[in-house]
Structure 1
Amino acid sequence: MPAEPPLPDPDHALAPLAGHETLLLAVSGGPDSIALALLAARWTLRAQKRIEIATVDHGLRAEAALEAAQVGEWARALGFAHNILRWDGEKPTTRIQERAREARYRLLCARAREIGASAIVTAHHADDQAETALFRLTRGSGVAGLAAMSIESRVDGLALLRPLLPFRKSELERLCAAAEHAFIRDPSNENPAYARVRLRRLAATLAAEGLDAEALLRLSARAARAEEALAWSAAHAALELSAERGPGLFRAEAAALRALPRELLLRLLTAEIARIGGGEPRLERLERAVERLAAALTAEGRFKTTLGGTCLTLAGGALAITPEPPRRAEIAPQP
Structure 2
Amino acid sequence: MRLTSSDAAAVAFAGVFDRLNARLSVQSDAPIALGLSGGSDSLALLKLATAWGRLHGRRILALTVDHGLNPDSPRWTAFARDAALASGANWEGLSWHGPKPTTGLPAAARRARHALLAEAARAAGARIILLGQTADDVAEGDWMRAEGSTLGRVREWSPSPVWPEGRGLMLLRPMLDVRRQDLRDWLAAQGAGWIDDPANEDVRYARSRAREFLLPMGEGGGATVPSDEGLRCLKAQAPDPLTLSGKDDRFAPVPSSPLPSGEGSLIFDRTLSTQTLAAMLVCAGGVDRPPRGDRLAALTGRLATTDTFTATLSGARLQATPDRIHIHREAGEFTRRPPPDLLLTPGIEAVWDGRWAITVDQPGWTVTHAAGRMASLSKADRALLKVLSPAARASRPVLIRNAPDAPVLAGTVGQARSLVEQRLALALDAVTHERHLS
Matches within 5 A, 1:1-335: 4=4, 6-9=7-10, 10-18=13-21, 19-20=24-25, 21=28, 22-43=31-52, 45-46=54-55, 48-139=57-148, 145=152, 148-155=153-160, 156=166, 157-203=168-214, 212-216=230-234, 228=253, 231-232=254-255, 235-236=256-257, 257=270, 260=271, 264=272, 266-279=274-287, 281-282=289-290, 285-291=292-298, 294=301, 306-312=312-318, 323-325=330-332, 326-327=334-335
| In 2: Cα distance, 1:49 partner to 1:320 partner | 42
- For the residue of structure 2 that corresponds to 1:14, the secondary structure is helix
Residue 312 to residue 187, structure 1, CA distance change in 2 (3 Å): same
Name the TM-score, length of structure 2 as normaliser.
0.57
CA contact 1:11–1:43 (8 Å) conserved in 2: no
Corresponding letter in the other structure for 2:202:
N
| In 1: Cα distance, 2:175 partner to 2:226 partner | 27
Any idea what the Cα deviations from partners look like across 1:275-302, whole Å, max 9, x if unmatched?
Answer: 432226535x24434326626976x889
Corresponding letter in the other structure for 1:288:
R
Residue 324 to residue 33, structure 1, CA distance change in 2 (3 Å): same
| In 1: Cα distance, 2:3 partner to 2:17 partner | 24
Aligned CA RMSD, in angstroms, stands at 4.0
- For the residue of structure 1 that corresponds to 2:100, the secondary structure is coil
Corresponding letter in the other structure for 2:41:
D
**Equivalent residue, structure 2, for 1:333:** none
Any idea what the Cα deviations from partners look like across 1:120-160, whole Å, max 9, x if unmatched?
Answer: 11111111011122223433769xx4xx2222222211221
| In 2: Cα distance, 1:268 partner to 1:174 partner | 42
Residue 218 to residue 77, structure 1, CA distance change in 2 (3 Å): farther
Of 186-195 and 151-160, deviating more is 151-160
Deviation at 1:174, TM superposition (A): 0.8
| In 1: Cα distance, 2:169 partner to 2:303 partner | 40
Residue 52 to residue 265, structure 1, CA distance change in 2 (3 Å): closer
Of 123-132 and 133-142, deviating more is 133-142
| In 2: Cα distance, 1:319 partner to 1:193 partner | 45
Residue 46 to residue 59, structure 1, CA distance change in 2 (3 Å): farther
CA contact 2:319–2:325 (8 Å) conserved in 1: yes
Residue 33 to residue 210, structure 1, CA distance change in 2 (3 Å): closer
Residue 79 to residue 315, structure 1, CA distance change in 2 (3 Å): closer
Deviation at 1:192, TM superposition (A): 1.3
| In 1: Cα distance, 2:57 partner to 2:325 partner | 53
Residue 135 to residue 3, structure 1, CA distance change in 2 (3 Å): closer
- For the residue of structure 2 that corresponds to 1:167, the secondary structure is coil
| In 1: Cα distance, 2:286 partner to 2:156 partner | 26
Deviation at 1:62, TM superposition (A): 0.6
| In 2: Cα distance, 1:165 partner to 1:41 partner | 18
Corresponding letter in the other structure for 2:49:
A
Residue 307 to residue 63, structure 1, CA distance change in 2 (3 Å): same
- For the residue of structure 1 that corresponds to 2:38, the secondary structure is coil
Percent identical residues: 30
CA contact 1:41–1:79 (8 Å) conserved in 2: yes
Tell me, which stretches of 5 or more residues in structure 1 are unaligned? 330-335
Tell me, which stretches of 5 or more residues in structure 2 are unaligned? 161-165, 217-224, 242-248, 338-438
| In 1: Cα distance, 2:20 partner to 2:227 partner | 38
Residue 77 to residue 209, structure 1, CA distance change in 2 (3 Å): closer
Any idea what the Cα deviations from partners look like across 1:285-330, whole Å, max 9, x if unmatched?
Answer: 24434326626976x889775421134577999977551503369x
Corresponding letter in the other structure for 1:162:
R
Corresponding letter in the other structure for 1:121:
L
Deviation at 1:272, TM superposition (A): 3.8
| In 2: Cα distance, 1:17 partner to 1:3 partner | 20
Deviation at 1:43, TM superposition (A): 3.6
Residue 106 to residue 194, structure 1, CA distance change in 2 (3 Å): same
Deviation at 1:164, TM superposition (A): 1.0
- For the residue of structure 2 that corresponds to 1:212, the secondary structure is helix
| In 1: Cα distance, 2:55 partner to 2:323 partner | 60
| In 2: Cα distance, 1:268 partner to 1:81 partner | 38
- For the residue of structure 2 that corresponds to 1:54, the secondary structure is strand
